[in-house]
Chains A and B, each alone.
Chain A
């Protein structure tokens, strides 16, 4: 049996395809939010979507890639599962990193929102000098510098 036969499912599993689609949609929506916590949840959801996609690549659901547990016809392709495992680990590591970054942002500026782009603000001021712009972060807030105990 060649590897090519393993992955060609007879039909697309619609429910799974829709699930992946919904996960991607939700993930991308959350990724576009300003709060870093929501971005983080977006990354996690997107990661789940991607891992589910990798699982689906390995064959229909409910098949196992463990030798001796199933006949060759219903044997799942183990490689995508290995890829998914690696991807899970990487997503896990980056999730904790984003958590730490969000916490850092929280201690530094009191919230975890991504601030306006400086250039954007400058352009907006040129275009609409009278408009009141949302100001946050470093412009008008007296911020205690919490970076003293970081390491060099």
Chain B
């Protein structure tokens, strides 16, 4: 079970974390954004003074809903309004919401993959999808419709451009997470290092 859906059984047991210090942060660049603790989980309380309980509670409910909606957008993209880009942005907005609710405390903690890797994997999937038709003697970026027989649901038509969209989806999520990291928690980290109040 994902930590997102765990029950709030340990409320208030953890001490407040991320105490601002004036000591310079010595974590090397390559690893400063590695997730260290869970984030926005029930029971993990930020500095109570900065806490927005309403937003936190709402975002806990909204976050999975928005993600499901983004996957819907990703899947219908070939026939209706949607597609990898808009789906990725919607999913990215879900993370932005979590960032707004959870503050600078480890925005990457939900996804344990680092954002650049997510971008790279997405781009790799997209480019490989674009190149694959060459193997079948078709022009680059050509699409085909595959039919998959699924028990109970019947025949499902999958257009190969869906794989391109999946790549774009991952890429955009990676970009949004990277922005949150660089222009969100990164700046707050700089401010902490400089001893300024956040």
A and B directly contacting (CB within 8 A): yes
**Which A residues contact B (CB, under 8 angstroms)?**
66, 89, 96, 99-100, 103, 107, 146, 149-151
A100 pairs with B190, CB closer than 8 A: no
Q: A100-B183, A107-B190 are in contact. Are A151 and B29 (CB under 8 A)?
A: yes
Interface of B, secondary structure class, is helix
Q: A96-B179, A149-B29, A151-B29 are in contact. Are A103 and B85 (CB under 8 A)?
A: no
Closest B residue to A93 by beta carbon equals B175
B187 within 8 A of A: yes
CB contact between A99 and one of B25, B85, B183 (< 8 Å): that residue: B183
Interface size of B by CB at 8 A reads 11
B29 pairs with A100, CB closer than 8 A: no
A66 — which chain B residues lie within 8 A by C-beta?
A: 81
A103 to B182, alpha carbons, bound, how many Å? 11
Q: List 5 A-B contacts (CB under 8 A).
A: A66-B81, A96-B183, A107-B190, A149-B25, A151-B29
B187 pairs with A103, CB closer than 8 A: yes
Q: A107-B190, A150-B29, A151-B29 are in contact. Are A100 and B182 (CB under 8 A)?
A: yes
Q: How far is the CB of B116 from chain A (nearest CB, A)?
A: 11
B29 — which chain A residues lie within 8 A by C-beta?
A: 149-151
B81 — which chain A residues lie within 8 A by C-beta?
A: 66
**Which B residues contact A (CB, under 8 angstroms)?**
25, 29-30, 81, 85, 179, 182-183, 187, 190, 193
Closest A residue to B86 by beta carbon equals A85
A100 to B175, alpha carbons, bound, how many Å? 14
B182 pairs with A89, CB closer than 8 A: no
A151 to B182, alpha carbons, bound, how many Å? 13
Q: How far is the CB of A144 from chain B (nearest CB, A)?
A: 9
Among all A-B residue pairs, the 4 with the closest Cβ atoms: A151-B29, A96-B179, A149-B29, A100-B183
Q: How far is the CB of B161 from chain A (nearest CB, A)?
A: 15
A150 to B28, alpha carbons, bound, how many Å? 10
B190 — which chain A residues lie within 8 A by C-beta?
A: 107, 146
